[in-house]
Amino acid sequence: MAGDPTDTPLVISAGDGCFIRQAIDNMGWCDMGDYILVVDALEDAPLEGEVMAAIAETVGDKPVRYVLNTHTHYDHVSLNGAFVDRFGAEIVNQRTTTIDPAGRVFESPGRKVCMIPMPGCHTREDCVIWAPDDRVLFAGDIFGWGLIPSGGLLNAELRGLLRNTYQRLIDFDAEIVVPGHGPVCGAAELVRWVEYFDWLLETVGGMAAAGKSDGDIKATVTPPDDMLGWWRFVAWKHADALSKVLTSARRGALDA
């Protein structure tokens, strides 16, 4: 990607009354008729005025009734309190609320929003938010433009969870996928990440088993050409993913 598209926050219209604030930290909001539903709440509390103004400019003077957090890391919840103070909003995440594994539905005439738990890829609290009428999927930090979202060793259980979760995301066939951070994308990037993940596992695992040194592996396993434009991928994300796979290989997790 030429330049960094997150240098300047951009409010994207994703449908009639559905908006995404694209930046380093992403959030969105949906007009539910007589109220607004917000997805995620950034990491920078001083942005409160800017965010509230953007919501009002796009959907008018309506109360925010719900704030849905894809998970509760600080960079997704810092404005939660501001929405509570201003509107008495209900904060919904897997710490505040028991969410049925099948999901919780927020519905009004003309729009439905589904909050669906998909725990374990990034945190135990992971949820995705699916707006089927707009075909918008808020994936939180499950998708990170090339990152392996978990910090755990990549044993068979975790590898299976990652692949199965990604298949669930792909099956939504979303027109717009909103990652927790960085530019929005589509379902094709989710498919490509799974291919990349499997390629890393096979290539790094094979080289480690053949006795190649860490230096040889890192020099050989370079970013795929078609992913060179992924957000911050060449700068550090490929190296991070490669390191996680290599650590897992050295500790025998890829054999489990």
Torsion of CA 179, 185, 186, 188, to 10 degrees: -100
Query: How high is the pLDDT of residue 3?
Result: 75
Q: How far apart are CA 255 and CA 15, in angstroms?
A: 46
Instruction: Give SS3 for 18.
Output: strand
Residue 110: predicted pLDDT: 87
> What pLDDT sits at residue 2?
58
Q: In what order do the strands lie in the sheet with 111-117?
A: 104-108, 111-117, 127-131, 136-140, 176-179
The torsion angles phi and psi of 132, rounded to 5 degrees, stand at -65, -30
Count Cβ atoms below 10 Å from residue 58 Cβ, excluding itself.
16
**Model confidence pLDDT, tens digit, residues 128-153:** 999 999 999 999 999 999 999 999 99
Report the alpha-carbon distance of residue 140 to residue 71 in Å, rounded. Answer: 7
> Which pLDDT belongs to residue 245?
98
Return per-residue pLDDT of the chain as tens, 256 residues.
Answer: 457 999 999 999 998 999 999 999 999 999 999 999 999 999 999 999 999 999 999 999 999 999 999 999 999 999 999 999 999 999 999 999 999 999 999 999 989 999 999 999 999 999 999 999 999 999 999 999 999 999 999 999 999 999 999 999 999 999 999 999 999 999 999 999 999 999 999 999 999 999 999 999 999 999 999 999 999 999 999 999 999 999 999 999 999 7
Is the domain defined by 10-255 classed in CATH 1.10.3720.10?
A: no
